[in-house]
């Protein structure tokens, strides 16, 4: 037992000295990825720049709509650099790449809208980047919604003005109803009958529009009750109209009083509608945002756990990849063949040395993160366990690379390939849910993927990772260790043969 421990510790001290004698390699492994990610964090802008746009607005449209409202809608999505009526000049600037988008409003837009047809707003651009194209289309969709809202607000304001005019007219008709009796002369009765029919038609228009009727409700009134009241007033006005035609107005005393009360309520409803802000009618639903975490973290803070995991994995993979291949090239494996050591002792000694070394680096990097005020809400024990499993699994990948590599150059190239795969398919930059299922499975099988999830849970949420994350981490570390042991044992037997 003592001899086995001495042999194991011999390989442990050997690997520690090997790393210690290569300070430039260590600095390159640590500072290289770290500086690249720092530059990314400092240089990345979470809000992309707005595309430059020219608005082509024909004179026929400019004379019919609120131009300032359309400009405001365009500026919400784009950087509006010019408004012109010359479509050809705008397209020349687009082709010269002086602007990104040319937005063309059709000349017959107002006529189409009045006919109940859709007016197509064209967004012209010249892009070869599919991501930029999707971005422009999403901005255009949001902008057209804002333009529709602006047009609806304008129409609503006109409708409210008509409601104010109708309110004054209803008030005069109600006064006529107060003085309506059978002694009126034929001309007065005919004029009042015409006003009654006009009032009935106006009530029917309002009652037939459920949205308008709903907007007329205020102070907690029931929209259905308002609609029923308007329908009842329409029927009462119809009866009153028939009584004037049939000369039976004297029999309508009760109905006449009900019409007077209904007309007074209708006048009040019109006033309420005219007083509602147009934005509340056009956009009755408004978004409200509440982050149960309190507030979202900064990009630098959110990516900090991923940066830590990526750097530690890269160091572990590279050191492991250079370990066995270097000894094979130097002929050390032939010495192991005649030495009284087992493959397991060699591997465990290497694991212990590299785990100790990388753990020290991980502690230094974690301290640097805390120094720049990256929050830590979780368990220190869980944090250490995650890093330990990550390092063991990454060392296993490095040893596997070393087992199949024929030179240092090949080992380094394979290590960089692992780094690239880890960056693109671990959820570090892009969510894994966006990938094809087989690629997503590959991403979850890499040790960095569950490590990033676990570190974010522990550091930023203060919660323990779910069980499946521990299973992936622990299973990855165990599987890589078993595979490395098998490959190394076969190589030693090959040498002995």
List pLDDT tens digits, range 119-168: 788 899 988 777 788 888 888 888 888 777 777 777 777 777 777 777 77
Spell 151-160 as b/e; 16+ CB within 10 A means b: bbbeebeebb
For helices 437-445 and 408-425, the axis angle rounded to 10 degrees is 120
Identify whether residues 260 and 318 lie together within a single domain: no
Q: 133 lies in a domain? A: no
Which pLDDT score is estimated for 389?
Answer: 92
CB-facing half-sphere around the CA of 165: CA atoms within 13 A: 7
Give the residue-averaged pLDDT of 265-272.
75
Q: What angle do CA 470, 476, 479 make, to 5 degrees?
A: 135
Tens-place pLDDT, residues 183-204: 556 666 677 777 777 777 777 7
12 in Cβ contact with 352 (< 8 Å): yes
What are 47-101's pLDDT values in tens digits?
Answer: 667 889 999 888 777 676 667 777 887 888 888 899 888 889 999 999 988 999 9
Residue 271 lies inside a defined structural domain of this protein: yes
Residues 32 and 61 both lie in one domain: no
Paired residues of 20 in beta bridges: none
107 secondary structure, DSSP code: T
| Same domain, yes or no: 442 and 395 | yes
∠ Cα 412 413 414 (to 5°): 90
Mean pLDDT of 477-492: 79
3-class DSSP state of 103: strand
Q: With respect to residue 295, please indicate whether it lies within any of the assigned structural domains.
A: no
Question: What is the CB neighbour count within 10 angstroms for residue 18?
Answer: 18
Asked if the model's pLDDT at residue 38 lies above 70, the reply is no
Domain's final residue, options 75, 105, 126: 126
- Establish if 137 belongs to a structural domain: no
Last residue of a domain, one of 109, 126, 143: 126
Residues 400 and 365 in one domain: yes
Strands 101-104 and 52-56: parallel
Instruction: Give how far the C-alpha of residue 484 lies from the chain's centroid of Cα atoms, to the nearest Å.
Output: 42
∠ at Cα 439 (434, 441), nearest 5°? 100
Q: Name residue 125's beta-bridge partners.
A: 101
Is the same domain home to 367 and 472? yes
Which pLDDT score is estimated for 369? Answer: 81
Q: Indicate whether 263 and 238 sit together in one domain.
A: yes
Mark whether 382 and 491 lie in a shared domain. yes
Q: Is residue 353 assigned to a domain?
A: yes
The number of C-alpha atoms within 13 Å of 341 and in the hemisphere containing its C-beta is: 24
467, pLDDT greater than 50? yes
Q: Which carries the bigger pLDDT value, residue 27 or residue 376?
A: 376
Q: Does the pLDDT of residue 463 top 80, yes or no?
A: yes
pLDDT-wise least confident of 30-39, 59-68, 241-250, 288-297? 30-39
Are both 87 and 22 inside the same structural domain?
A: no
pLDDT average, residue stretch 11-23: 62
Is 7 within a domain?
A: yes
Give the whole-angstrom CA distance, residue 158 versus residue 153.
9
Output the CA–CA distances (angstroms, integers) from residue 270 to 166, 213, 362, 416, 461, in the order listed: 8, 10, 71, 73, 53
Same domain, 355 and 478: yes
Choose one of 223, 247, 282: the last residue of a domain: 282
Rounded to whole angstroms, the Cα distance separating 481 from 496 reads: 22
- Res 218 pLDDT > 50: no
> Does any domain span residue 262?
yes
Structural domain harbouring 206: 155-282
pLDDT of amino acid 4 = 63
Q: Alpha-carbon distance 16 to 357, whole Å?
A: 7
The values of phi and psi at residue 338, to 5°, are -95, -10
- Predicted confidence at residue 196, as pLDDT, reads 76
Ranges 193-197, 300-304, 373-377: which has the least confidence: 193-197
Strands ordered across the beta sheet of 101-104: 79-84, 52-56, 101-104, 122-125
Q: Tokens standing for 344?
A: 């397991």
Confidence of residue 496 (pLDDT cuts 50, 70, 90): very low
Q: For the chain, how many structural domains are there in total?
A: 3
Q: Please spell the DSSP secondary structure of 294-359, one letter per residue.
A: SSPPPHHHHHHHHHHHHHHHHHHHHHHHHHHHHHHHHTHHHHHHHTT--HHHHHHHHHHHHHHHHH
Min mean pLDDT across 250-264, 300-314, 331-345, 391-405 is at 331-345
Assigned domain for 136 exists? no
Would you call 216 helix, strand, or coil by DSSP? helix
Does the pLDDT of residue 219 top 60, yes or no?
Answer: no
CATH number, domain containing residue 221: 1.20.120
Report helix angle 2-20 to 23-43, nearest 10: 60
CA dist., res. 338 & res. 180, Å (int): 125
Is 494 a residue whose pLDDT tops 60?
Answer: no
- Pick the more confident residue, 251 or 360: 360
* Mean pLDDT value of segment 229-255: 74
| Most confident segment among 66-70, 250-254, 295-299, 387-391 | 387-391
pLDDT digits (tens, 9 = 90+) for 318-345: 888 887 776 666 555 555 554 556 667 7
Q: What CA–CA distance (Å, rounded) separates 307 from 428? A: 8
Q: Are residues 350 and 486 in the same domain?
A: yes
| CB 196 within 8 Å of CB 173 | yes
How far is the C-alpha of 421 from the C-alpha of 304, rounded, in Å? 19
Same-domain pairing of 176 and 116: no
Q: Average pLDDT of 304-312?
A: 89
Residue 254 reports pLDDT greater than 70: yes
pTM over 0.95: no
Are 395 and 477 part of one and the same domain?
yes
Percent of the chain with pLDDT over 70: 72
């Amino acid at each position: 037992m003592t001899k086995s421990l001495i042999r194991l510790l011999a390989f442990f001290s050997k690997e520690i000295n090997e790393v210690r004698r290569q300070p430039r390699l260590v600095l390159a492994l640590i500072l290289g990825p770290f500086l690249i990610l720092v530059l990314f964090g400092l240089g990345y802008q979470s809000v992309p720049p707005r595309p430059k746009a020219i608005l082509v607005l024909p004179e026929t449209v400019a004379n019919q709509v609120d131009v300032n409202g359309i400009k405001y809608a365009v500026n919400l999505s784009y950087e509006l650099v010019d408004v012109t009526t010359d479509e050809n000049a705008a397209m020349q600037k687009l082709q010269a790449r002086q602007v990104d988008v040319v937005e063309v409003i059709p000349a017959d837009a107002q006529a189409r809208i009045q006919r109940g047809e859709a007016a197509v707003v064209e967004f012209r651009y010249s892009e070869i980047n599919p991501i930029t194209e999707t971005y422009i289309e999403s901005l255009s969709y949001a902008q057209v919604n804002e333009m529709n809202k602006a047009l609806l607000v304008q129409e609503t304001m006109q409708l409210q003005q008509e409601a104010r005019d109708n309110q004054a007219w209803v008030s005069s008709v109600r006064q006529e109803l107060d003085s309506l009796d059978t002694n009126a002369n034929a001309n007065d009765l005919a004029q009042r009958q015409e006003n009654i029919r006009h009032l009935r038609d106006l009530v029917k228009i309002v009652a037939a529009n459920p949205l308008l009727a709903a907007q007329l409700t205020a102070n907690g009134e029931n929209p259905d009750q308002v609609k029923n009241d308007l329908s009842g007033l329409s029927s009462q006005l119809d009866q009153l109209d028939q009584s004037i035609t049939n000369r039976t107005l004297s029999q309508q005393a009760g109905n006449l009083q009900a019409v007077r009360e209904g007309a007074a309520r209708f006048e009040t409803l019109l006033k309420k509608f005219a007083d509602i802000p147009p934005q509340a009618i056009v956009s009755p639903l408004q978004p409200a945002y509440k982050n149960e975490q309190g507030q979202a973290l900064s990009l630098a803070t959110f990516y900090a756990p991923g940066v830590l995991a990526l750097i530690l994995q890269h160091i572990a993979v590279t050191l492991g990849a250079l370990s066995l291949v270097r000894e094979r090239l130097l002929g050390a494996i032939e010495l192991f063949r005649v030495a009284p050591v087992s493959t397991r002792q060699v591997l465990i000694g290497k694991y212990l040395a590299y785990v100790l070394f990388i753990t020290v680096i991980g502690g230094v990097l974690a301290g640097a993160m805390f120094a720049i005020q990256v929050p830590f809400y979780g368990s220190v024990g869980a944090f250490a366990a995650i890093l330990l499993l990550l390092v063991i699994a990454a060392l296993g990948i490095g040893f596997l690379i070393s087992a199949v590599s024929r030179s240092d150059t090949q080992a380094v190239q394979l290590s960089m390939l692992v780094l690239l795969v880890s960056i693109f398919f671990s959820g570090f930059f892009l969510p894994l849910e966006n990938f094809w299922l087989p690629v997503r499975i590959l991403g979850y099988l890499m040790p960095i993927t569950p490590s990033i999830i676990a570190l974010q849970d522990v550091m930023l949420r203060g919660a323990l990772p779910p069980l499946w994350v521990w299973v992936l981490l622990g299973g990855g570390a165990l599987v890589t260790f078993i595979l490395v042991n098998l490959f190394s044992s076969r190589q030693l037997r090959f040498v002995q043969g």
